[in-house]
Amino acid sequence: MSHLPVHTDDSTLWSALRRHTQARIGLGRAGSALPTRHRLELQAAHAAARDAVHTPFDPEAVAAGLAGMPTIRVRSAAPDRLTYLQRPDLGRRLDATDRAHLPVGEWDAVFVIADGLSSRAVHEHAAAVLRETVARLASWSIAPVVLAEQARVALGDDIAAAMGAAMVVVLVGERPGMSAADSLGAYLTYGPHPGTTTDADRNCLSNIRPPLGLTYGTAAGKLAGLMGRARELGVTGVGLKDEIDGGGVRESLL
């Protein structure tokens, strides 16, 4: 007895596939264009991405979510948002006046919360990720949290070097896309110093944005595990290939 192939309606097939991805697939067409609903969704996603980039950073709101942790506010050398976007190099350099007011100590780590390219991501996720990570570092000497405006990842190196911290974790708003405008990244660097600009010297956790990305607990477990191994080995980046899950050693995180 022969078995004839079962043909599935295209719309049913695409609907099933769309349940497993945020990618815009099988949107169909209306004449030579997208259907109106999907076109409006694309326009809304583009507007959300633009808003994420240009929404002003609110350090007071972030500080309020840190449950009494001491915080310090700093700025990069970029005087405004337009300059920040046009001059990435200035976003990596600490304002000279702010550097002079940073406390100096023998800290194991400093956490920097930086607006990056999505203040929305920072406002929504950074405080929760930081609290859950610090809760896993009970024996560590943690510097006051630095809230950095007009900041890129490498600004954390300048901050940590000025404060005397052995490593830095930068929680930063990632570049928004058409499917995610609120994605938070965490960048870990051991032995940070100005000029550490290569990704080979850092470890990164990206897409922290529950429920569609990493949850706070999972991100905190991975980050605390990486920090512990970085302290043991004295290195991050390509030299740190440990396999960390939410609390132990499991999957490659390079």
Parse the chain into domains and list their residue ranges. 54-239
Which tokens hold the place of 34?
Answer: 């997208």
Q: How far apart are CA 230 and CA 46, in angstroms?
A: 38
In sequence order, which ranges of the chain are alpha helices (DSSP H)?
10-18, 36-54, 59-64, 81-86, 96-100, 119-121, 127-134, 155-163, 216-233
- Residue 167 confidence (pLDDT): 97
Neighbours of 110 (CB within 10 A): 26
| pLDDT band, very low/low/confident/very high, at 207 (cuts 50, 70, 90) | very high
- Residue 253 confidence (pLDDT): 34
Backbone angles phi, psi at 108, to 5 degrees: -70, -35
Residues in the chain: 254
**Residue whose token pair is 């470890």:** 203
Residues 27, 17 contacting (CB under 8 angstroms)? no
54-239 domain in CATH 3.40.50.11240? Answer: yes
Helix (H, G, I), strand (E, B) or coil at 92: helix
| pLDDT band, very low/low/confident/very high, at 14 (cuts 50, 70, 90) | confident
Mean pLDDT of 158-186: 90
Point out which residues pair with 33 in neighbouring strands.
Answer: 30
Residues 117, 174 contacting (CB under 8 angstroms)? yes
- Residue among 91, 71, 62 at smallest CA distance from 79: 91
Point out which residues pair with 145 in neighbouring strands.
Answer: 71
- Residue 160 confidence (pLDDT): 97
Helices then strands (H, E): number in the chain? 9, 6
pLDDT, tens digit (0-9, with 9 covering 90-100), for 219-252: 999 999 999 999 999 999 888 875 554 444 333 3
Helix (H, G, I), strand (E, B) or coil at 84: helix
